[in-house]
Chain A
Amino acid sequence: GDSVTQMEGPVTLSEEAFLTINCTYTATGYPSLFWYVQYPGEGLQLLLKATKADDKGSNKGFEATYRKETTSFHLEKGSVQVSDSAVYFCARYNFNKFYFGSGTKLNVKP
Chain B
Amino acid sequence: DTAVSQTPKYLVTQMGNDKSIKCEQNLGHDTMYWYKQDSKKFLKIMFSYNNKELIINETVPNRFSPKSPDKAHLNLHINSLELGDSAVYFCASSRGGGGTEAFFGQGTRLTVV
Contacts and interface: CB of A to CB of B under 8 A. Distances in A.
Contact of B56 (A44, A89, A97, A100): A97
Contacts of A93: 98-100, 102
Contacts, number: 60
B106 interface: yes
Interface in B87-113: 90, 92, 94, 96, 98-107
A43 B9 CA distance: 11
A49 B106 CA distance: 21
Contacts of B100: 32, 93
Contacts of A46: 101-103
Nearest to B50: A96
B98 A98 contact: no
Given A89-B43, A98-B45, A102-B42, A44 B98 contact: no
Interface residues of A, number: 24
B98 A43 contact: no
Contacts of A34: 101
A43 B99 contact: no
Contact of A51 (B42, B43, B92, B99): B99
A96 B90 contact: no
Contacts of B50: 96
Interface of A: 31-32, 34, 36, 38, 42-46, 49, 51, 87, 89, 93-94, 96-100, 102-103, 105
14 contacts: A32-B99, A34-B101, A36-B104, A42-B106, A44-B102, A46-B101, A46-B103, A97-B45, A98-B33, A100-B35, A102-B40, A102-B41, A103-B43, A105-B41
